[in-house]
Every structure is written in structure tokens, then in C-alpha cells.
Amino acid sequence: DIKGVGKNLQEHPGVAISAYLRQDDRMAPVATGYIQMHARYSSGFEGCPSSDMAISALAKSAWHPIGKRLGTLAFWVNRAYSTGTVSLKNSSHATEPEVNFNMLSDKRDAERLKEAFRFVAQLLQHKALVALALDPFPSTWTGRAKRISKYNRLNFGLTSIVATLMDSTSWLRRSLIRSVITDGHSVSDLLESDGLLDHFIRQNAFGNFHPTSTCRMGPALEPTSVTDPSGRVHRVSGLRVADASVMPFCPRANTNIPTIMVAEKISHAILNER
């Protein structure tokens, strides 16, 4: 009956721009880590804190031959203000909950992500990147991309054919990128139209597997508060929450270590009360 349960769901919403990498600049077959660089930066938007944005460089975008030829700059809002909900459909434990991230519902998030798209597009025009990252395009997690991402022999064969064609001529590569890989829009299309860019980010924003804040800590009298600083659920005896859901908002960082810290802190509180 606590009103805050399932409310205030937060994430790090982002989009990406990918590009075709020259053969000598692709990730070596023996290398395993996709992410080669990560950085946090400040948007400078009024009312937003420092390090409210983030960007990662991936030297390989997927397991298959096409993905091995594509580098990606993924970027996201590192301090989001949009909130969503998690709710139960029924009382059965076997039924998955209804999850609505409601990404980019806060204008500040949408505007910063659009500005980040413009920034990354400009970054890819730098002479150091133009020499190795060819034909940049807006990345989209389309139904086709989801199907082809499944690890099997058929997908390996299909992507091998397309990848070989991409290597043949620049004209054919650009044609395949526009007609097969993307939803038809180019980076320049999105830069020329704020409305089109706004539509693109809202349709294609992804999360970073960082959901938090649906059982946020706070004073018992606060309507959206669910737990106290020791993880005890308000007005429920013997129940605590010790994961990322108690965070008042999604931190400006990967949530792995902060979640471990939350669990350690609450476990110490339990031990100290014995």
C-alpha cells in the first residue's frame, strides 16, 4: 500500500552513431573487450549537475561479421530526470511485471541527448576519425537488428555475405547501410531537422541496464519514499530492500559498484542491530 513502490523508475537513456572501420583499424580477433574508451562530460545545461552525460567508444558493435566492421560511439544522459513505473499485472509470481521506463519524458533529457547527437556527429568529422571511421550513420535497434543478433550459423552466413559486399565498394557500402542496416535516415538528415532528430531519439533511445529508484530511500512522511536509510520498508516490519531500487535517483555512473555499496551498507546495519 506504499504509494512510492514501483514509482520513480530511472535509467540512463542513450542513442548511438556507428561507422564502417577500415580493415587495419578493426579490433583484433584475439581481443575480447568491446569498449575501448569511456568518458563522462558536462552538458552545461542550466540546472544540470556536472558529469551529467557519458560516452563510450566500441571498436566492435556485434559478434557477427557486420558488427566486426562497425565501430560505435554510444552516448547517454548520465543524470536523467525522466521517471517511469513498474507495476504488477496480477498476483501470480509467474507473470512478468508491466515496465514503463518513460524515457525522455522530461524535456531536459531529450534536449541534452539531441545536443549529444550533434556533438558526436561533429566529433566524427575530426580528421583523426575521418581517416578510419567511414560513412557514419545513426544506429537503430530495429527488428532486423534484433533478429540478426541471435548467435547461430544462419545469421553468421547472412552477415558474412553483407559484410563482404560492404568491403567491395564505397557506393555499395553506403547503399547497404542506408537500406539494410539503418531505418533510412542519415546523420545529415537528423542534423538538418530538429523535429526529425527529436523523433529519432524518442523512437530509438535505449537503456544501459541501469534501472534504479523504484523503492527510494527517504523520510517516512515523504509520499514517494519507501525505505529508511537502513533499507527498512516504512510501516512493514521485518522487510528491507538492499539493491539499486533504494537509490533516490540513478547515479552518474555505472550502477554495479554503487549497488554493491548499498548492499554492504545495509548488511552492516543489520549486523550492528544484532
Give a yes or no: residue 6 inside a domain: no
**pLDDT over 90 percentage in the chain:** 86
Which pLDDT does position 187 carry in this prediction? 96
Q: Tens digit of pLDDT for each residue in 190-239?
A: 999 999 999 999 999 999 999 999 999 999 999 899 999 999 999 999 99
Select from 147, 171, 197 the last residue of a domain.
197
Are 246 and 215 in contact by the 8 Å Cβ rule? The answer is yes
Give me the residue label for grid cell 510501516.
Answer: 235
Q: pLDDT of 107-136, one tens digit each?
A: 999 999 999 999 999 999 999 999 999 999
Q: Are residues 130 and 266 in the same domain?
A: no
- One domain for residues 64 and 185: yes
In a domain, 142, yes or no: yes
pLDDT exceeds 90 at position 33 = no
What pLDDT score was predicted for residue 34?
A: 81
| Residue numbers of the domain that contains 249 | 212-274
Q: What's the CATH number where 141 sits?
A: 3.30.410
Q: Are 234 and 209 in contact (CB under 8 A)?
A: no
Residue 202 counted as domain residue: no
Q: What is the pLDDT of residue 55?
A: 98
Q: Tell the burial category of 107 from Cβ atoms under 10 Å away from its Cβ (0-12, 13-18, 19+).
A: exposed
Does the model's pTM come out above 0.85? Answer: yes
- Alpha carbon dihedral 211, 216, 217, 222, in 10-degree steps, equals 160
CA distances from 258 to 143, 210, 215 (A): 33, 11, 15
The predicted structure's pLDDT at residue 170? 94
Q: Are 134 and 224 found together in one domain?
A: no
Tell me the per-residue pLDDT of 45-56, one tens digit each, with 9 for 90 and over. Answer: 999 999 999 999
Domain count, the chain: 2
User: Residue 184 — pLDDT band, cuts 50, 70, 90?
Assistant: confident
What letter represents residue 50's amino acid? S
